[in-house]
Structures are given as structure tokens and as C-alpha cells.
């Protein structure tokens, strides 16, 4: 296979939430000790994204999917691990060295109300990245570019002088997308781009994303919790649970034949229109905090087919015959999964 557009290798991201010195003092076994509290947001995640595909990362809140997206873009520095863009390592670059890569990777955020500066007109929001990355670009060219991109996302270029509050949620998300497209990026990281929108508007924005993706040959890293959206737009899907990858598979394979017990439970929980009886798999307990990760497989406390091995040993991401990658001892041993 060709080199992936983006490859991440064993990414770990931990956040220190200890606070001040006094918060670190803990009393244990009759002794005072200094101890740090860390949130283990992302643990040893490896993924590759190939040109032109849409890779969706799904999982419930707190599973580390947004953190992963931000690490990929360099908004957070990874605690360990490597990130490669077109085969070049980018996670250790200086700010200046990183600039040409930033042009190629753009992000679309969830909340179109929070992600646009209310004091800037659409024109200024859109021209800022252009002027920053191309300081010598003449104004006429900038304006042409803005007109072109606004037309592409379906916002009338005559509205360029307006402020964000004059637009509806759907329109604002179109403007956010325009800002993401204006530098002609190759990779777009979209973090829940349609979650804040109504169903009828959601369809419009998803169509826009798929259209522009095809026209410009974009590669998407799509972060979302909405599985029906995932099924619709993705080429491949990566399922995350508690900072760890459970399963990576072609979208079709994943929805037809989910392997990991967590994926199965997750898929069974999606309500479907027209379905009158809900028959979802019930999980035991709740998602543990990422501060104290369970030993072994992070899912074992809630898994119906867990045994001693799951409690002790962290499962590796194994590749099955059809290319699906699964991190589960039960699947590896061909145990019966309820």
C-alpha cells in the first residue's frame, strides 16, 4: 500500500491535573509521598489515514477522540509517540518548521457559535489564514479566493461583510467549513461538525462535506459520537474506548459484523427509525475514569465475555483475515461473545 497521508504511531497523551504542590502530598502506608494525578486521555493509539478516505473515530464522551484529533494537528504535544505526515515526522518540529504542514491540515469544530470570532466579519475570518500563510498575496487574489470558497460552501459572497451573529447555525457551520477550505488543505480534521445542528440542516452540511471531499480529493479524519452519521460517510471506522483503540475496520464490515464486545454493545444501542422494539446489549457498570485505568483490557470490567487473562494482560491490536483490526482476547481465542 502507498504511504499514508497521516500515520500516528503509539501516541500517548496524559494530562497532569494535580494542581499545586500541596495537592500532590498524599499519605500512604504511614508515609507522606508526593504523587501526581494524571488523566490518561489517549493510550498507545496507532492509526494510518490514506489519501481520499474518510476515517471516523467514534466513541462515547471522554474516550479521548477529541484529544487524539488535537494531538494529530499539533494543538497538543503528545506525551510520547510519533506522528508522520506523508512519511515525514512532524511531532518534533519547531513552530516555524511546522508552518507548511499546518496549511495542509485544517480543522472544523463542533460549535459554530463558539468557533467564529463574533467581532470579525466573514471576510476577515476567511482572509486571516490566507494573509498569514501567504503574506505576499495581493488583495485582489485574496478576495477572489474568498468569493470562490464562499460559493463552494453555499454562502452568498455578497454577505462577506456580515458578522457571525447575522447567520443561522447551519450557515455558520458553512462559514467554518469555508475557513477550513480556504488554504486548500489536504487533510481536514472535523470534530463533531454536525452534532450541534438540527436534522434537516445536518443533512445539508454532511452533503456539503461529502461533495467538497470528492471534488477536492480531501482526506477526512472525522470525530463523532453519532453512529448513523459514521455509517453514512466513512470509509473506515476506528472505535475508541477509554483512550484505547478497540477496533479498526472498513465501515461496511464494522456495521455488518462488529467483532469487539464494546463495538457490539455500541452498535446495538443506536435507535433506528421504524424499529419498534429496542434490543440493545446491556453493559455492566459505568465507564471508569481515565485517571485510574483498569488493569489489562480497559473494557474487562464491563465485558460479558471477560476472563482472567483480560484482567491481567492488555490485548494487542491484531489483524484478522478481512483486514479488521481488533484488540480483544476473546476474539483472538474465538471465545463465544454474547
User: Which stretches of the chain bind another protein, using CB under 8 A?
Assistant: 60-61, 168, 170, 198-204, 206-207, 210-211, 225, 227-229, 231-234, 251-252, 265-266, 268-278, 280, 282-283, 286-287
Give whichever of 36 and 280 is closer to another protein, judged by the CB atom: 280
Residues in the chain, total: 338
Q: Count the neighbouring beta carbons within 10 Å of the beta carbon of residue 204.
A: 16
Strand-pairing partners, residue 28, are 31
Least Å distance, CB 64 to another protein, is 14
Q: Are 291 and 37 in contact (CB under 8 A)?
A: yes
Give whichever of 210 and 314 is closer to another protein, judged by the CB atom: 210
Which ranges of the chain would DSSP assign to H, the alpha helix? 21-24, 65-72, 95-104, 122-133, 139-152, 169-181, 199-216, 227-233, 251-256, 261-268, 308-312, 329-332
Give whichever of 73 and 245 is closer to another protein, judged by the CB atom: 245
Least Å distance, CB 246 to another protein, is 13
Tell me which residue of 310, 320, 305 sits closest to 265, measured CA to CA.
305
Least Å distance, CB 287 to another protein, is 7
CA–CA distances in Å: residue 80 to residues 10, 41, 97, 210: 7, 12, 20, 33
Give whichever of 37 and 231 is closer to another protein, judged by the CB atom: 231
Least Å distance, CB 122 to another protein, is 18
Query: 3-class DSSP state for residue 188?
Result: strand
Give whichever of 120 and 162 is closer to another protein, judged by the CB atom: 162
Least Å distance, CB 95 to another protein, is 36
Residue 295's contacts (CB-CB under 8 Å, 6 or more residues apart) are 311, 312
Give whichever of 100 and 217 is closer to another protein, judged by the CB atom: 217
Least Å distance, CB 142 to another protein, is 30
Backbone dihedral angles phi then psi of residue 48, each to the nearest 5 degrees = -130, 140
Question: What is the helix (H) or strand (E) element at residue 156, kind and residue range?
Answer: none
Least Å distance, CB 169 to another protein, is 8
Least Å distance, CB 167 to another protein, is 11
Give whichever of 11 and 49 is closer to another protein, judged by the CB atom: 49
CA–CA distances in Å: residue 137 to residues 101, 128, 140, 304: 19, 12, 8, 60
Give whichever of 210 and 317 is closer to another protein, judged by the CB atom: 210
State how beta strands 88-89 and 105-108 pair.
Answer: unpaired
Q: How far is Cα 74 from Cα 78, in angstroms, rounded to an integer? A: 8
Amino acid at each position: 500500500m502507498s504511504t499514508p497521508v497521516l500515520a500516528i504511531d503509539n501516541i500517548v497523551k496524559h494530562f497532569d491535573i494535580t494542581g499545586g504542590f500541596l495537592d500532590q502530598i498524599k499519605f500512604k502506608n504511614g508515609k507522606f509521598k508526593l504523587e501526581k494525578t494524571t488523566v490518561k486521555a489517549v493510550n498507545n493509539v496507532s492509526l494510518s489515514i490514506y489519501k481520499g478516505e474518510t476515517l471516523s473515530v467514534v466513541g462515547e464522551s471522554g474516550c479521548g477522540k477529541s484529544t487524539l484529533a488535537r494531538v494529530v494537528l499539533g494543538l497538543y504535544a503528545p506525551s510520547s509517540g510519533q506522528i508522520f505526515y506523508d512519511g515525514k515526522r512532524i511531532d518534533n518540529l519547531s513552530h516555524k518548521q511546522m508552518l507548511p504542514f499546518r496549511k495542509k491540515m485544517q480543522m472544523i469544530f463542533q460549535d459554530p457559535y463558539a468557533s467564529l470570532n463574533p467581532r470579525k466579519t466573514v471576510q476577515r475570518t476567511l482572509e486571516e489564514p490566507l494573509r498569514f500563510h501567504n503574506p505576499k498575496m495581493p488583495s485582489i487574489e485574496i478576495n477572489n479566493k474568498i468569493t470562490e470558497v464562499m460559493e463552494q460552501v453555499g454562502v452568498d459572497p455578497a454577505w462577506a461583510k456580515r458578522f457571525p451573529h447575522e447567520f443561522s447555525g447551519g450557515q455558520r457551520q458553512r462559514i467554518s467549513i469555508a475557513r477550513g477550505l480556504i488554504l486548500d488543505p489536504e487533510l481536514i480534521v472535523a470534530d463533531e461538525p454536525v452534532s450541534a445542528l438540527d436534522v434537516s440542516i445536518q443533512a445539508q452540511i454532511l452533503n456539503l462535506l461529502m461533495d467538497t471531499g470528492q471534488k477536492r480529493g480531501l482526506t477526512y479524519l472525522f470525530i463523532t459520537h453519532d453512529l448513523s452519521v459514521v455509517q453514512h460517510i466513512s470509509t473506515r471506522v476506528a472505535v475508541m474506548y477509554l483512550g484505547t483503540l478497540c477496533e479498526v475496520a472498513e465501515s461496511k464490515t464494522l456495521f455488518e459484523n462488529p467483532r469487539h464486545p464494546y463495538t457490539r454493545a455500541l452498535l446495538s444501542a443506536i435507535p433506528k427509525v421504524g424499529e419498534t422494539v429496542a434490543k440493545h446489549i446491556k453493559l455492566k457498570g459505568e465507564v471508569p475514569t481515565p485517571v485510574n485505568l483498569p488493569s489489562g483490557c480497559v473494557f474487562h470490567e464491563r465485558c460479558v465475555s471477560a476472563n482472567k487473562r483480560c484482567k491481567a494482560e492488555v490485548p494487542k491490536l491484531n489483524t484478522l483475515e478481512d483486514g479488521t483490526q481488533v484488540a480483544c482476547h476473546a476474539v483472538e481465542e474465538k471465545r463465544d461473545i454474547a
